[in-house]
Amino acid sequence: RRQLVIYRAFFEPGVYGWPEHACRGCSLGADMVGNLAHLNARDTTLAYASRAPQADIQRLKQRMDWKMPWYTITDSWDKDFGVDEWHGHNVFIHDGNRIFRTYFVNNRGDEAFGTVWSYLDVTPLGRQEVWEDSPEGYPQTQTYKWWNWHDNYEEGAAPDQRWVEVSDAGEAAFRNKNA
């Protein structure tokens, strides 16, 4: 996918709760992450990273029913990106072979994450809907029309016509009410 949101979670030796649990705050954040299919449909991946070995990460994810990809940090990535001593979200986009870090938030600022909207709103491509003031060439679709059931996204599939009709009717009713 073109965009990556990566959260530095504290699950490793020395963290309170280890090895049964990750940090309480990081765990609360992980509990709030919605179904990833909706982010994936917008060319965006959300991943977690920590210093725990993969066997421990997989055990914890299964126990807590977390679905996000979760990687083991084995180098200085967390220090390089400002999350070696405190949690934080980094956002990246790739353009061909070039990768750009486009957003960073830590401390109190990343507690609001967890919804599809909160993640998409910090990515360079945003929600990718026509109401956004996006540069030419950015992917954009009609507002609400790309939404789908999480088990129903198919790459390249046109929006379901019945959903488009329902969405259009809702928008029209809203506009008439406010007119």
Task: Give percent above pLDDT 90 in the chain.
Answer: 73
Distances (CA, A) of 16 to 8, 21, 24: 16, 8, 8
What lies within 8 Å, CB to CB, of 147 at 6+ separation is 38, 163, 167
Reported as a pLDDT band with limits 50, 70 and 90, residue 5 is very high
Domains in the chain and their CATH numbers? 3-137 (3.40.30), 141-179 (no CATH)
Reported as a pLDDT band with limits 50, 70 and 90, residue 60 is very high
Q: What is the pLDDT of residue 179?
A: 65
Among 118, 132, 153, 138, smallest CA distance to 38 is for 153
The model carries a pTM of 0.91
Question: Each residue of 84-114: pLDDT tens digit?
Answer: 998 999 999 999 999 999 999 988 888 889 9
**70-72: strand order across its sheet:** 70-72, 44-50, 3-8, 88-95, 98-106
